[in-house]
Amino acid sequence: MLQKDADQETSNYGKVYLIGAGPGAADLITLRGARILAQAEVVLHDALITEDMLRHCPQAVKIFVGKRSGQRSTAQALINQQLVDCARKYKLVVRLKGGDPMLFGRADEELRALEAQRIEVEIVPGITAALAAAASTKQPLTKRGIARSVAFFTSSTAPNHPEETTLPYCDTIVQYMGGKEAVTTAQRLLAQGRSPRSPVVVVENCSRDNERIMRLQLGELEQGLSECHGPVLVMIGEALALRES
């Protein structure tokens, strides 16, 4: 009887998909992600989702739940509640996130909220920005004899949590949302003993029409990235040195 009641409770909700939209370009979403988007009844999407991407789902109700660093944004608790409310109202709900949902995508909070209500969830991975940036710049993040380890990190922390002061130590490190934190990142790496000549590649608006690529050295990164306004990815390491050709 208890199992029947639980099944009945679950059937009162639709299914939620957490879909990774990829780095920005509308044709870099996976085939599975595009197919589900084309069937969605409602799509809750981030600030980084482009209008071109939303053309994959003309039939769906669109709900903006953007979160941008340093700007007024939708609180995560409200997003969680909106997902639950939409699952009560619609049979196919999509939470569309830039990049991949499982990397700096706050997926854990949303999964917890949905699982607490016994709502069925499926995750569709997306191309994360670091891999798209490596492709755009034609700079592999690993290189035989030079770099065999890669770390992805962000300086952003949860509300009321202290700022992270340590950096990962890997051959190649990639900082997400690294525009404003570039100076601090460079200072800490230099203090760790990294050479001021270490190659740095900065990619702004990765994979979009207005993508911008900057090549500099770690000592120069310490001066900051004041000209960047879009989403910024900072890649650092010897593997990023320009090939002689």
By annotation, the residues acting in catalysis are: 46, 67
Question: Is 72:66 a contact under the CB 8 Å cutoff?
Answer: no
Taken as a whole, the chain contains a residue count of 245
How big is the CA angle at 53 (ends 86 and 182), to the nearest 5 degrees? 100
Residue 108, number of CB atoms within 10 A of its CB: 10
Q: Helix crossing, 107-116 with 76-89: angle to 10°?
A: 40
- Secondary structure of the chain in the HEC alphabet? CHHHHHHHHHHCCCEEEEEECECCCHHHCCHHHHHHHCCCCEEEECCCCCHHHHCCCCCCEEEECCCCCCCCCCCHHHHHHHHHHHHHHCCEEEEEECECCCCCCCHHHHHHHHHHCCCCEEEECCCCHHHHHHHHHCCCCCECCCECCEEEEECCCCCCCCCCCCCCCCCEEEEECCCCCHHHHHHHHHHCCCCCCCEEEEEECCCCCCCEEEEEEHHHHCCCCCCCCCCEEEEECHHHCCCCC
